[in-house]
Structure 1
Amino acid sequence: MLSVRSVRGRAACGVALAALLAATAAAPAAAQDAAEAPAQPQAPAPAQPQGLTEYAAAVVNDEIISTYDLAQRMRLLIATTGVQPSEQNLPQIQQQALVSLVDERLQFQELRRVEQEQDFSIIATDEEVDEELAEMAAGNNMTPEQFTSMLRSQGVLGSLREQLRAQSSWQRWIQGRYGSRLRIGDDQINAVLEQQQAQASKPQYQISEVFLDANRVGGMEVALQGAAQLVTQMQQGAPFQAVARQFSASATAASGGDAGWITPGEMPAEVDQALEQMRPGQLSRPIPVSDGVYIIYLRDKRAGEGSTIVNLKQVAVGLPADAPPSAVEAAQTRLLAVRAKITGCGDLEQVAGQETGLVAGDLGEAEIADLAPAFRQAAEQLEEGQISDPIRTEAGLHIVAVCGKRATGAGMLSAEQVERRLFFQQLGLIARRYMRDLRNAATIETR
C-alpha cells in the first residue's frame, strides 16, 4: 500500500535543497566520484553553511534516500538537460529527481529479490555500466576518459552511473521475463497494415514526445505545471532529446522522445488536434490527455498520398542551352534512330554504347515528384518498359526509359517493422504496469 507522509513543507525543503545544491556545486567532486579520481593534493574543504545537515529526503520500504542523493540527482538533471534552475522550476526539478530515485530504489529492491529467489545475476556490473558510459561518450564525440572527467568535475558521475545501472538492469529483467512470452499475432500485424493502408491518404507527422504521467508525478495539475515549465525551458534552448530522456515517462524516452512517423489515430485525439494546427519545427503547448500531459515537437509533416517510384535509364547528347536549331534537330534525329534499335532497359546501354558522342546510364530510383519537370512529365505518362521522345534540357537532349514503376504509401511500415513496434509497445506497457504495482505495494515516505 502506498503511504506518503510529508514531514516538512515543500517550500522549506526546496530552499534547503537549493542551498545544498549550491554547497555541493562549490565543493570538490562528490565523495563517490572523488574515490574514482587519481589522488591529488586537496585544497581545504570550504566551510559548510551553518545549520545545513544531511537528512532523509524519502524512505522507500525502509531504504533511505538522503538529501545528498537528491541534490546529486538534481544536479544530474540540470547538467544533462540544459534546464536552467530558477525559483520557479526548482520544485519541479526536485520532484522529478525524487520520483526517479524512488523508482530506482523500487527497481533495485525487486531485482535483488529476484536474484535471491532465482539465484542468477540481473543487476548490471561496473563493467557493463562503463560500456554504457563509453557509448554516451562516443555520442558526445568524446573519449570515455574525457567524458567521465567532465562528469566528475560536475559532481554527477556517481549519480549517472546509478541511473544507468538501474535502467539497463530493469530493461534486461523486463525483456528477459516477458519478451519471450510476448506473441504478436498475424491478426495484430495485419490489422495495423490495413489501418496503415486505409490512412495512406491522411497527413503524416514525424514527431518527438515528452509524456508526463500524472499518476507518477502527483496529479494532473502538477503534470500541467511541470509541462509548462519544460516548454519554457526548451524554448530558451534546453535540448528536447535531453529533456525527454530525463523527464518523459514514455517508452520513447530512451531514444530522446523519437516516436517516428505517425498518422492520425495512433496518438490520443487531443494530440491529433494539436498536430493539425502545427508547422514543422514547432513545439506544442502542454497537451492534457486522460492520464497525463504531452509535449510534442513536430519535426516534419507530409501529405499522405501514396507516391510513385520510378527506375529510369537515359541516353543523352550534350548540347549547350544556346545551341542552334540545326544542332538540336540533328541530335534529335540521332536519338530517335537509337531509340528504334533499343528493345528495352536490358540493352539500352549496350546499343547506345555503339554510337559515338552519346552518354547512357542508369539514373536509379526516385519519386516522380522529386524529378526535374521535363523528366517528371515523361515518367508520369510512360508505362514500365516504354521510352520517351527526346527531352530538351539546358544540358542537352535526352531519351528516358522507364525500367520500373511502383506505387507506395509514404512511410509505410513493413510487416517486420510493425511487429517490432507492437512488441516494444506491449513491453513498455508491461513495464509501466509492473512499476505501478511496485509503487502501490510499497511504503514510501517523503520528508
Structure 2
Amino acid sequence: MRFTTGVALAALVAGSAMAQTAPNSSAAGTLDPASGAAATGAPAPRPEFRLADGIVATVNDQVITGFDVRQRMLSVIAMSQVQPTEENLPAIQQQALQSLIEERLQAQEIANYESLVVSDEEVDREIAAMAQDAGTTPENYMAFLEQGGIRPDALRAQLRTEIGWRDLVGGRFNSRSRVSRTQVEQALRQLNEAAAKPQYLVGEIYLEANRVGGQQAALNGAEQLVQQMVQGAPFQAVARQFSAAPSAARGGDAGWIVQGTVQPALQAALEVLEVGQLSRPIPVEGGVYIIYMRDKRSGAATSLVTLKQAMIELPDTAGAAEVAAASARLEALRPTLTCDNILQRATSETGLLGSDLGESDVADLAPQFQQVARSADVNTISSPVRTPLGLHLLAVCGKRVGGADAPTYREVESRLQNQNLAMLARRYIRDLRADALIEMK
C-alpha cells in the first residue's frame, strides 16, 4: 500500500466537519467531498499511548517493540486523520501491529534477493511525491510529520520496504498477472451487457476478519471508522490505511459497480444509499464493508448496438391473415440465419428485403427495435417485429458502451492485470505468514 496521501500535511489536525444526517437506516451520514483537501494549522497534541517499550512480537526471531508500534500508530493516525479516542485506540494498535508484522515478512523476503536494493534516491523520490501530493516541499513535509512524533528514520524504513515489495511483486508476478485477449473481450462484453442497468460509483473499505482479530473485532473497528469519517476523517485517507481491499491503494475507489454484481448485503445498501452518503458497517462472510456512495446513474451514457435485418413489407392496413402468413414465413427462415448470411439470404428470396442498419445508439432506434436491442444477446436473431412498415427479423451483431465513460480495451486490460497482481501479492504475503514463526509477547 503506497504511503502517499493528498492530505498528509494536514494529518495531525482535525478534519473539516461533515453533516451527520441519516435519512435511511443503511446510511451513517453524509460526507463532505471537500474534506479531503489539506487543512492548515498547528499539529494537534500528540496522543498518549499506554504501551510498554519492550518486545511486543517476534517475526522469525526479528523483534517488534512497543516503540515500533507507537511509531506506526502515529503514522496510521497521521495518514488517515482518524482522531485517537479510548474507543478506537485498540483498533489503531491492531492495524499498526499487523502492518509491522507484514512489513517484517516483506523485508525478510526482499533480503533473499541480493539484486533487489532500494536506494536512498528512490526513497527520496517517494517522499517528494508525498510532499507534492500535500502541496509542500519535502523538507516542510518531513518537518511537519516530525512535529507529530513520526521519526524520519522510521518513515524511511517503511518506505524502503514498500518500494522493495512493489518491485519484488511486480518482477515476480508480472508475467502471471497478464490477461489474454479472450479475458479482456469477455470483460468488455460484460460491461456492454450491463450498460442499461443501474450503476453506482462506489468507495469501499473492507476490514478482513482474520487480519483484525475476528468478525466482531472487524465490526467494532468499522463502527469506529464510520464515526470518525462522519466527524471529519477523509474517506480516501482512511481507506488507504485500514482497508484490506485491492482498492485501498486508490483510496478505496472501487469504480462503477453494476447492479446485481455484488453480494446481496452490499446490493441492498447500494439500493438505498443516496449520493454522498456513507453506509453503516455491512457484515459479510469473512469481514465487514463500509460503502461510500459517490455517484449513481441509470446506465452508461451511451449504449450502441449493431443491427442487420430481413423484412417483409406490410402496410399498417394489412389484415390479420396477411400478417400471420408473413410471420410464419420469417419464423421458418429464422433458424437458418446468422449475422454473416442474413443479408445474402434476404436479397436472394422473393418478397424479402435485407439491409445493414449499422451501429446506432439504442435510444435512437424505433421503439419496437429498442426492446430487442437491449435484451437480445449478440449473434442472435429476433422473432418477427411488427412496425408500420412491415415485419422484421433483427440480427443483433454487436453491442458496446459508447460515450466518454466507455472504457477502452487497454483500460480494461490494465484494470484486470492490476487486479491479478493485487491478488497474487495478497496470496504471497499470506503464504509468507503461514510459513513464519510469529509470536506475540
Secondary structure of the residue aligned to 1:413 is coil
Aligned to 1:427: 421
Aligned to 1:408: 402
* 8 Å CA contact retained: 2:300, 2:405: no
Secondary structure of the residue aligned to 1:252 is helix
Paired residue type of 1:271: L
2:274 pairs with one of 263, 276, 279: 279
Query: Distance between the aligned counterparts of 2:104 and 2:73, measured in 1?
Result: 16
Secondary structure of the residue aligned to 2:176 is coil
Paired residue type of 2:101: V
* 8 Å CA contact retained: 2:177, 2:418: no
Query: Distance between the aligned counterparts of 1:80 and 1:306, measured in 2?
Result: 36
The reply to whether residue 142 of structure 1 matches residue 136 of structure 2 is: yes
Aligned to 2:100: 101
Alignment of 1:104-183 (within 5 A): 104-113=103-112, 115=113, 119-122=114-117, 124-156=118-150, 157-183=152-178
Q: Structure 1 pair 167/52, CA: closer, same or farther in 2 (3 Å)? A: closer
Paired residue type of 1:142: T
* 8 Å CA contact retained: 2:200, 2:295: yes
Q: Structure 1 pair 62/237, CA: closer, same or farther in 2 (3 Å)? A: same
* 8 Å CA contact retained: 2:192, 2:401: no
1:335-375 residue CA offsets vs partner (Å, 9 max, x unmatched): xxxxxxxxxxxxxxxxxxxxxxxxxxxxxxxx9x9xxxxxx
2:221 pairs with one of 218, 226, 240: 226
Q: Structure 1 pair 274/86, CA: closer, same or farther in 2 (3 Å)? A: same
Query: Distance between the aligned counterparts of 1:421 and 1:264, measured in 2?
Result: 19
Query: Distance between the aligned counterparts of 2:411 and 2:262, measured in 1?
Result: 18
* 8 Å CA contact retained: 1:74, 1:94: yes
Query: Distance between the aligned counterparts of 1:132 and 1:139, measured in 2?
Result: 11
Query: Distance between the aligned counterparts of 2:186 and 2:121, measured in 1?
Result: 43
Structure 1 residue 220: deviation in Å? 1.3
* 8 Å CA contact retained: 2:98, 2:211: yes
Q: Structure 1 pair 147/306, CA: closer, same or farther in 2 (3 Å)? A: closer
Query: Distance between the aligned counterparts of 1:127 and 1:265, measured in 2?
Result: 47
Query: Distance between the aligned counterparts of 1:52 and 1:180, measured in 2?
Result: 44
Aligned to 2:91: 92
* 8 Å CA contact retained: 1:200, 1:410: no
Alignment of 1:3-402 (within 5 A): 54-113=53-112, 115=113, 119-122=114-117, 124-156=118-150, 157-304=152-299, 306-307=301-302
Secondary structure of the residue aligned to 1:184 is coil
Query: Distance between the aligned counterparts of 1:266 and 1:106, measured in 2?
Result: 35
> If the length of structure 1 is used for normalisation, what is the TM-score?
0.63
Structure 1 residue 423: deviation in Å? 0.4
1:185-226 residue CA offsets vs partner (Å, 9 max, x unmatched): 122112111111111111111111111111221221111111
* 8 Å CA contact retained: 1:56, 1:64: yes
Percent of residue pairs bearing the same amino acid type: 50
Query: Distance between the aligned counterparts of 1:131 and 1:268, measured in 2?
Result: 40
1:362-389 residue CA offsets vs partner (Å, 9 max, x unmatched): xxxxx9x9xxxxxxxxxxxxxxxxxxxx
Structure 1 residue 228: deviation in Å? 1.0
Secondary structure of the residue aligned to 1:181 is helix
> If the length of structure 2 is used for normalisation, what is the TM-score?
0.64
Query: Distance between the aligned counterparts of 1:223 and 1:308, measured in 2?
Result: 40
Query: Distance between the aligned counterparts of 1:271 and 1:141, measured in 2?
Result: 36
Structure 1 residue 256: deviation in Å? 1.1
Aligned to 1:10: none
Aligned to 1:372: none
Query: Distance between the aligned counterparts of 1:429 and 1:65, measured in 2?
Result: 27
Question: Which ranges in structure 2 are unaligned for 5 or more consecutive residues?
Answer: 1-11, 13-47, 305-360, 364-399
Structure 1 residue 94: deviation in Å? 0.6
Aligned to 2:383: none
Aligned to 2:44: none
Paired residue type of 1:297: Y
* 8 Å CA contact retained: 1:59, 1:445: yes
* 8 Å CA contact retained: 1:227, 1:293: yes
Structure 1 residue 155: deviation in Å? 2.0
Secondary structure of the residue aligned to 2:273 is coil
Structure 1 residue 293: deviation in Å? 1.4
Greater gyration radius:
1
Q: Structure 1 pair 418/53, CA: closer, same or farther in 2 (3 Å)? A: closer
Query: Distance between the aligned counterparts of 2:123 and 2:245, measured in 1?
Result: 23
